[in-house]
Amino acid sequence: MTSPTARPLPASLVTAHAERARSFNSAAAVYAAARPTYPPVLFDAVEELSRRPLAGARVVDVGAGTGISTALLRSRGARVLAVEPGEGMAAEFRRALPATPLVRGDGNHLPLASATVDLVTYAQSWHWTDPAHAHPEAMRVLHPGGALALWWNTDAQDVPWIAEQADRVRRHFGDDRANKSGGGTRTLDADKLFAGAPFPPEPDRIARRVLRWSRRVPLDTHLANVASHSLFIVHGEESTRAFLDRERARLREVFPDGLVEEVYDVLLLVVTPR
């Protein structure tokens, strides 16, 4: 149960979601090497919308994974504690950021005292939580005047090769709704993000931004990035290899120099509770 009013999901969907949430652990090294980072404008926007500088802020980065977001928050001067449930991801994190504190835990039960942090961040990880628990937990650990920031790198669907690849993913999985992102299409819709939360954020306390950026990476890195998504990890190696082989041939036609221009829209939502 998520709340007295939320309808429970069918057991098969709950199991599939949990399996995808855990799946990253088996692909942590590929994840660390191939996943995109986040652009500096994202952190400028987090500062602006949370109305406080990152330098010196006490931040808890939840679902920290291999440390991509944690490292960037640290480079802006934040004092970051990482929280990560997965063993494989935590091991990769410790290899990359041995001096940064990490505790095993998840967003539904934060292993932190109340009113102890200035900012709670979820980079690409809020969708794995149950907002009925994760939202009150975030509110509990924040100091008065603190903020909750959620963000996702999403593929820019108005770029023709990216839209075509998304079609190929749907065809490969034989499912109209299949996409690389766990838990469905990314959204900044608060009703969906905070579904089941007992006291969801008030609309006038929510700010949003969409920030476009891009990176050019070797074709192999792009394909490893695709393969590091939970949809592919849980689907099995053989099927993923077949998809990637076909993808390699198609993308060579689009990017004859072997460098793929990945274009992202970062979706950012910041809650500043009263």
Residues lying near ligand SAM in the complex (CB under 6 A) are found at 21, 24, 35, 62-65, 68-69, 84-86, 89, 106-108, 123-125, 128-129
Q: Percentage helix, strand, coil, to 5, in the chain?
A: 45, 25, 35
> How far apart are the C-alpha atoms of 52 and 122, rounded to whole Å?
17
Residue 50 or 228: which CB sits closer to ligand SAM? 228
Residue 133 or 172: which CB sits closer to ligand SAM? 133
The CB-of-87 to ligand SAM minimum distance in angstroms stands at 9
In the sheet that holds 117-123, the strands lie side by side as 102-104, 79-84, 58-62, 117-123, 142-155, 259-271, 206-218
Residue 70 or 272: which CB sits closer to ligand SAM? 70
Residue with token string 């909750």: 148
The CB-of-185 to ligand SAM minimum distance in angstroms stands at 15
The CB-of-152 to ligand SAM minimum distance in angstroms stands at 9
3-class secondary-structure state, position 264: strand
Q: How many CB atoms lie within 10 A of CB 40?
A: 13
The CB-of-66 to ligand SAM minimum distance in angstroms stands at 6
Residue 2 or 255: which CB sits closer to ligand SAM? 2
Residue 26 or 252: which CB sits closer to ligand SAM? 26
Q: Which residue is nearest to ligand SAM (CB)?
A: 65
The CB-of-241 to ligand SAM minimum distance in angstroms stands at 22
User: How many helices (DSSP H) and strands (DSSP E) are in the chain?
Assistant: 11, 7
Residue with token string 């891009």: 214
The CB-of-258 to ligand SAM minimum distance in angstroms stands at 25
Residue 147 or 266: which CB sits closer to ligand SAM? 266
The DSSP annotation for 49-96 comes to HHTS-STT-EEEEET-TTSHHHHHHHHTT-EEEEEE--HHHHHHHHHH
The region, left, alpha or beta by phi > 0 then psi within -120 to 50, assigned to residue 124 is: left
